[in-house]
Structure 1
Amino acid sequence: MRILQIGGGNFLRGFADWMIQKGNDAGVLDTGVVVLKVTPRPSRVPLRAAPFRVVLDGPDGPDVTRVDVIDEVVDAYADWDRCLAIARGDDLRLVVSNTTEAGIVDVPDDLSARPPETFPAKIAVLLHERWRHCGGDPARGLSFLPCELNEDNGRLLRSAVLRHAAALDPAFAAWTGAHCRFYDTIVDRIVPGGDAEEVRGERYAHWAIAGDPHIRDEFPLDRAGLPVEFLEDIGPYRVKKVRILNGSHTALAAVAPLLGCVTVNQAVGHPLAGEYLRRLLDTEVLPTLPPGAGPFAAATVERLASPALEHRLADIALNAIAKWQTRNLPVVRDRWAAGERAPLNVFALACLVLGYAGEPGDFPVRDDAEVVARIRDGVFPFDDARLAEETADHVRAIRAAGPEAALEKVIR
């Protein structure tokens, strides 16, 4: 069996590829991975079909695994014909992806382009090639495990792909809807960095997959003792995890660089940034969650503070506006609906707006050029008058007093 992996960043290498390697070693899988590079910009870590090490840090020292499951890497912008050939393959069964929250978008695209621009459009064209080649064989449908943190990520990807499929051929769209399976998932492991030869992460990991029983037979990693759960509904766990862990990451990556912090553990240990994080969780995030989420929040702060994880805030800043929308905006809206405020989450957005606008000049900005350009032209990234007004208030305060004094006022 072959798995098509959309994206070759540190997270997928230190999480999905590590699990696939463990599954192969345990004999529950016999699979290789084809990595598809789907962005035109150069990769920060050179992608190659070669073994690498996954080093998982823990209190009793590092755990090292040699991962050799990647047997091919293809750049969609350099060799689209090879991508189409892979899609036709008889041994292809699964697609795993992580294109960040900005990747799963349902927008018009040029389906004749080589390749199309968006991730769902690329998938639709690849599936169309597979459908055409196999003559619509029902057994040749694929299973999709999106690791993006969008809510209902599998259903969201399915909807976008089906819209493009309908534009290509109604019969193809019917085959995709009936025989391709898109599973909602939630993933959890902190993977702070790495290079072509080594990826470093934490020991903790969790992969929850919702949907029909077919995926458990096709991808039986739980039978290798791996932390994979197959559930009917991952919604409650997803909300807790994304708001507490990922929302904290996004907020810290926006605020802490303005206080001179470079890594997450530095930020947690910083007197002001650390207090900001704890107050964010205690006064804004936890009140939006069911009772019982407190221990997960406390454990998350402990994970973020680990000195073994040198997680650079600049690495978390990739597509930060889209991440804030997915991870932090729901907290703001839930607080507003309860008649409360969420100034600490909105303060993080204000820091992002200032950073994208070039104030200060060394703020880590890693986003689509169009998103950055619009903010620098004075266009607020969300169509929400109250959010725009509250963000502008924080922006004025930061400009007037500096980030440290402005944050201290919000916290106190």
Structure 2
Amino acid sequence: MQPIAIFSIVDASFRRSRGLVTIATNAAERLRPLGEADPGREVLPVRILQVGAGNFLRGFADWMVQRANDAGVLRHGIAVMKATPRPELVTGRLTEQAGMFHVVLDGVRDGRPFSETTLVTAVQSVVDAYREWDLCRDLMREETLSLVISNTTDAGIVYTPDDLSAAPPASFPAKMTALLHERWSHFAGDPRRGLSFLPCELIEDNGATLRSLVVRHAREAALAPQFVDWVTEHCRFYDTIVDRIVPGLPEPEAAELRASLGFDDRLIVRGEHYADWAIAGGPAIRDEFPLDRAGLPVRFMPDIRPYRERKVRILNGTHTAMAAVGPLLGCHTVRDAVQHPAVGAYLHHLLQDEVLPSLPSEDPEELRQYTTAILDRFRNPALHHLLADIRLNALAKWRTRNLPVVLDAWSQGRRADLGIFAFACLLTSYAGAFGEMPVRDDETLVAGLRSGFDATHPDRWIADFIASLDWPELSDTATAARLTAETGAHVRALLANEPAHALQTLLAGHEAKSP
């Protein structure tokens, strides 16, 4: 099969083994200082398979690998795999730019704003799982490969029945099962050829969950028990939590950056300088991937659960809520939402009245300081973080980031109407109640929301939709009934009045309770 996304900087042994074509010369000419004509660019062995090529992975994981390479701590090349069938421009542009792009990070140091730019050259190849599955399988035969880093969003590490013989299987866990089986077969079960997985998806126990799904797919496909043993004993799945705000870049700002850099870089990533990567692992993964030895903000620890819960509920949960509520009041960016009088007040009460009480802490003051720092990061004037981007797969995000806060509040005898209000805003906007908005979410769920929508009798619509959700958290009848009733009340308020009025009424109750 003729590859569309492998360029000449691919590791030489891999290129020779497949007779891969090189990238078109004119692509290098468009970025002449960055392309193949650059004699100083080092060809790196492919040690990392990266599943996903979005802003976050490029501005976080790729940036870290590049910095560690530059420091001489690593010598790691990255193969990027496009793992979804959705059309997108990033992987094609990565090929055109020979895998290179700039990461621009903005921060504050000693009270003064600063900007730092890094040219990422670690990406060695790009493959499309839906057009080049044979090349994805061939990557598994590379002796140098040792790590898999992924970000398939909160909806990526889930179980769905799949066919491992498909080219490719549909889900991310099934793809990994098939690819690992290819590696196991090729290396005859060599225990030294197991891979280490560092999933960046923001779900609880992301590494352990991915491992369990790989094993489940293997057993359902009746793969050899020896393969399952190899996966469980010689592949390592680490739980991780990641933190850096990496928004999209609006074109006028991108054009200015291209002009200042002097390169026609169509993949510039802009983000905040702050970053943190916590990995639940000890000396083995630290020796294999010693990013901290390059001075990077990576921590290896035995248990990341308390840190994960705090970060996901405060930062990511607030992102999800503002992306549900903010657009209904005219907000387009995170900064718009935080600075909007009503939406900003909503976020303040969401954090103070619902999120923080759900987090056990031996130091409440430290927790408040962490929350204040998060809000300051949201206000970063250099970042243009679109709420429309945060709404990607928002139903799954609300389930993993906001629903746990709701359930904890109920178990403690408290209400959680602010979190449920965000859910109601999400459902009504998805249904088109307030005009057309971009929706990028589970197509089946969205179709069900829209087909059953009835603005005059919303209670039945809400009840039917919540009953259709295959969420284990709602297996308890009383819990599902309460979520249905409280969501329905907010939906009725939203439909009976303008969203701004419904929000003001909700906030009035919380303002009255404030000291």
Both structures adopt the same fold (TM-score exceeding 0.5):
yes
- The residue aligned with 1:214 is 284
CA distance in 2 between counterparts of 1:67 and 1:104 reads 27
Whether 2:92 is the aligned partner of 1:22: answer: no
CA distance in 1 between counterparts of 2:354 and 2:319 reads 15
CA distance in 1 between counterparts of 2:272 and 2:153 reads 20
Q: Do the aligned partners of 2:238 and 2:279 also contact (CA within 8 Å) in 1? A: yes
TM-superposed CA distance for 1:51, in Å, is 1.2
* 3-state SS of paired residue (1:43): coil
Q: Do the aligned partners of 1:40 and 1:77 also contact (CA within 8 Å) in 2? A: yes
- The residue aligned with 1:162 is 215
Q: Do the aligned partners of 2:241 and 2:308 also contact (CA within 8 Å) in 1? A: yes
CA distance in 1 between counterparts of 2:306 and 2:143 reads 37
Q: Do the aligned partners of 2:82 and 2:91 also contact (CA within 8 Å) in 1? A: no
Q: Do the aligned partners of 1:9 and 1:45 also contact (CA within 8 Å) in 2? A: yes
Whether 2:298 is the aligned partner of 1:228: answer: yes
Instruction: Specify which of 397, 401, 416 is matched with residue 327 of structure 1.
Output: 401
Instruction: Specify which of 97, 102, 105 is matched with residue 56 of structure 1.
Output: 105
Q: Do the aligned partners of 2:147 and 2:196 also contact (CA within 8 Å) in 1? A: yes
TM-superposed CA distance for 1:46, in Å, is 4.3
1:51-200 pair list within 5 angstroms:
51-59=100-108, 60-166=113-219, 167=221, 168-194=223-249, 196-200=266-270
Letter in structure 2 aligned against 1:288: S
Letter in structure 2 aligned against 1:387: L
Letter in structure 1 aligned against 2:56: F
CA distance in 2 between counterparts of 1:64 and 1:307 reads 17
TM-superposed CA distance for 1:44, in Å, is 5.1
Which whole-Å deviations, capped at 9, do the CAs of 1:241-284 have from their partners, x for residues lacking one? Answer: 00000000000000000000000001100000111111100000
CA distance in 2 between counterparts of 1:131 and 1:306 reads 47
Whether 2:336 is the aligned partner of 1:262: answer: no
RMSD over aligned Cα atoms: 1.2
Letter in structure 1 aligned against 2:499: P
Letter in structure 2 aligned against 1:182: F
CA distance in 1 between counterparts of 2:211 and 2:99 reads 32
Letter in structure 2 aligned against 1:17: D
Higher relative contact order (CA 8 A, sep 6+): 1
TM-score (norm 2): 0.78
* 3-state SS of paired residue (2:57): helix
Letter in structure 1 aligned against 2:214: V
Instruction: Specify which of 51, 55, 72 is matched with residue 6 of structure 1.
Output: 51
Whether 2:492 is the aligned partner of 1:396: answer: yes
Letter in structure 2 aligned against 1:169: A
CA distance in 2 between counterparts of 1:301 and 1:376 reads 34
* 3-state SS of paired residue (2:502): helix
1:241-320 pair list within 5 angstroms:
241-291=311-361, 292=364, 293-320=367-394
CA distance in 1 between counterparts of 2:236 and 2:326 reads 40
TM-score (norm 1): 0.98
Q: Do the aligned partners of 1:55 and 1:201 also contact (CA within 8 Å) in 2? A: yes
User: Which range is displaced more, 192-201 or 307-316?
Assistant: 192-201
CA distance in 2 between counterparts of 1:142 and 1:275 reads 46
Which whole-Å deviations, capped at 9, do the CAs of 1:51-93 have from their partners, x for residues lacking one? Answer: 1110001232211111111111111000100000001111100
CA distance in 2 between counterparts of 1:84 and 1:187 reads 28
- The residue aligned with 2:90 is 45
Q: Do the aligned partners of 1:6 and 1:99 also contact (CA within 8 Å) in 2? A: yes
CA distance in 2 between counterparts of 1:114 and 1:78 reads 9
Structure showing greater Rg: 2
TM-superposed CA distance for 1:333, in Å, is 0.2
Identity among equivalent positions (%) equals: 61
TM-superposed CA distance for 1:360, in Å, is 2.0
